[in-house]
Structure 1
């Protein structure tokens, strides 16, 4: 039971168990038999004999009730395998790798009011631009693979799996048919980010087993101990919505809401299915443009996105 709900590998978890046993865990364990087995140990007439005894039963004066054990505090601090500098480098690589996958889609999304509303809500919940890019790229990659008749299944060979991932990760051709707006609903984006979070967990050396508690539990662990909701780097607005948002804000006569620290909130912009893995360190490729989305104009409200704490990211 513990193993099925742990994100540690089998080896790492068994090492912890062995350490606990060596430190005296055996002395705090009590082995008991199931009640159903113990209840059948005596015969029915044995219970009748004991009920007829004049003397009170042993422990009759002991107050009844069950003590409520204190909840074990959740583990805190950086999780195993987390290094802040490497985590930021991984975020930087996500921007570089994900942008070509949706380089034409981004222009269409910037004019989609429905997607803008969804993205605004998600950003207010804490989604970073790389979360939106990851979910959007996974939607597009999955759609592209389906269009080519590549339907993943758990029994796929390594060669077929590599082929599907190559199609999903390829730079978006201009002639690709656009993905329907229904495929980029809030529910769809959340689902794709949750699936992609499995790859993020693997990049930290964690093991996500079949039957794990749930996607939200995984995202909570990544957020609490792996900087998932706080780590970010300075980057250009991939959706290029800053100027448009300023125009709408001016027309409405309302200022954008402030963040908790008083600054002006930036404009709006995770068997397993196949998903785009956490990008490896990026190396320039000949013939491939290094920036697929145009650089937006320098804007006075352009965000410098870094870790919320400037340190470990918790």
Structure 2
């Protein structure tokens, strides 16, 4: 069994895409645990996790490391579990999921503090310093300063030569980042420097030395515009997102921009961040199942009700706006941990549902495998987030709330980590043969419905330019033709006195495919204006989407959410069949030619 498991672990990055990978892995791990114990199983998980890291597959690495964390989570091997938590936090940070990273770093620090021992003593200050770094990268610079000060105190207690920058390169790097931040603040927002100074109140000498050092060097040359240009690349959230009456969390994952806002007081921040952290873990986990998601921006308001019955916990999603808005109400009343966890898990699924384009049954079908894969122990580690991350006092939050966030924060645009970028794998239900069959049918219908109208349209400079502009925008000929056919259909219904959606649809359906003859009423070319064609292109994309069982909420002209999804995952910009070029040889001497080659020509 040992040799088989060893070979499997070595080959894991290659085997991971196989449908039977999880089943075989779990079977081997169970056998290892039965024969050699949980610690041996944890080592196998760790080995696979590091193999996935080397193969640049961090999402799969996380799955393995989470399992190692759990198997090591007991008194004899707790040190290994804490180390693994810190590494998990690092991976989340690299995925630009800074609140998940903060949660794991704080959990590691809490466990180290609760289980004192020589082997865990140094883990507390190290985990705290890492948590401070993750918070800094999230743009919460005032919180980051406060956590940095706490980490410095912990170093003084638990580490030899605690402030030796040569001995501790991680401290040297963190110190350099802190001084760079301070130099930017002094140059661009000097009114906010007192906030940073107050956050270092536990270690005032450290801040004073840092401020003096920054003052001695040349002033940071960065301008606000320069900062705005680089912030999206170097930070995972808006600068000073922790400042102002409302906090701001802004990140992107699965091709979706997630913007959370909530009141800036201690209990609200901790409760809201517990949701954000859990949701970021959830997104990294669900990404391995590749859900079909619309690229969008989701605005989430978290309303934390203090001392209210937990029954108020609700999630309300408004799909009737171009960018979905979500209101999440959470109570702060102490309930059993399992009940609170269920509330957060439910909220995560509802947030995902706001952007999933497939039927609800598809997400429901993921629930069993995702829970079996350990979703709960990934999202929640030991003590609640509100406890492990409760390191700053009420006065800190009051200072943050009373200050004003710089305008530059509004120009922040998060950039996804590549593993969490919008997926481009072929989507569920796609069938290439069916796609090409439908495209051929559309060319055939267009050839009949536009027999005389298309030559007239292309003979007009404006009409020809309109078709050319659509092609330049990436629309394929069959897509343009469908928009033209729909424009004709709409005009025919109006001309016949038919109101769409009213009465017997039989005649309207007949008009959609009725061949155009020499005696047919002449379609005015005004029906092919840019605005009207873009309306019909939007309708057409949603019609194609419906064939793949895709749906979306409200979408305005020009947004392109469904077109983007079809292009990324359903080959919408690729699938076509041989045909005559609309602008080259489709019309000869004013006569529309057969758009598709005859069987003998193929």
Structure 2 match to 1:6: 356
User: Number of matched residues?
Assistant: 219
> How far has the Cα of 1:175 moved from its partner?
3.2
Structure 1 match to 2:480: 132
Alignment of 1:175 onto 2:522: no
Structure 1: distance between partners of 2:491 and 2:586:
28
Match of 1:23 among 368, 373, 379: 373
TM-score of the aligned structures, taking structure 1 as reference length: 0.59
Alignment of 1:294 onto 2:593: yes
Alignment of 1:211 onto 2:510: no
Structure 2 unmatched ranges of 5 or more: 1-350, 387-393, 399-413
Question: CA-atom RMSD, angstroms?
Answer: 3.6
Structure 1 unmatched ranges of 5 or more: 34-46, 52-67, 246-291, 299-303, 305-314
| CA spacing shift, 1:210–1:73, aligned 2, 3 Å | closer
Match of 1:231 among 575, 584, 591: 575
**Would you say the 8 A contact 1:110–1:241 is kept in 2?**
no
CA deviation map 1:73-111 (0-9, x unaligned): 222211111122322222111111222111121121121
| CA spacing shift, 1:195–1:235, aligned 2, 3 Å | same
The alignment partner of 1:76 has SS state of coil
More helix, by proportion: 2
Structure 1: distance between partners of 2:511 and 2:586:
31
> How far has the Cα of 1:238 moved from its partner?
5.1
| CA spacing shift, 1:70–1:139, aligned 2, 3 Å | closer
Aligned pairs for 1:1-314 within 5 A: 1-29=351-379, 71=417, 72-153=420-501, 156=502, 160-206=504-550, 208-211=551-554, 216-237=560-581, 241=585, 293-295=592-594
CA deviation map 1:190-212 (0-9, x unaligned): 22011011111111222x14436
More strand, by proportion: 2
**Would you say the 8 A contact 2:552–2:562 is kept in 1?**
no
Structure 1 match to 2:294: none
> How far has the Cα of 1:27 moved from its partner?
2.2
Structure 1: distance between partners of 2:449 and 2:482:
10
The alignment partner of 2:505 has SS state of helix
Structure with higher Rg: it is 2
Structure 2: distance between partners of 1:237 and 1:217:
28
CA deviation map 1:205-246 (0-9, x unaligned): 22x14436875010011111111111111113456657889x
**Would you say the 8 A contact 1:76–1:225 is kept in 2?**
yes
**Would you say the 8 A contact 2:474–2:573 is kept in 1?**
yes
**Would you say the 8 A contact 1:5–1:212 is kept in 2?**
no
| CA spacing shift, 1:117–1:211, aligned 2, 3 Å | closer
TM-score of the aligned structures, taking structure 2 as reference length: 0.33
Q: More displaced, 99-108 or 235-244?
A: 235-244
CA deviation map 1:112-131 (0-9, x unaligned): 11010111122122222111
Structure 1: distance between partners of 2:366 and 2:507:
39
> How far has the Cα of 1:294 moved from its partner?
3.0
CA deviation map 1:129-176 (0-9, x unaligned): 1112111000000110111111124xx56xx23432222222124333
CA deviation map 1:23-70 (0-9, x unaligned): 22222335889xxxxxxxxxxxxx79xx9xxxxxxxxxxxxxxxx996
Q: More displaced, 107-116 or 24-33?
A: 24-33
Structure 2: distance between partners of 1:229 and 1:176:
33
**Would you say the 8 A contact 1:238–1:293 is kept in 2?**
no
Structure 2: distance between partners of 1:25 and 1:213:
36
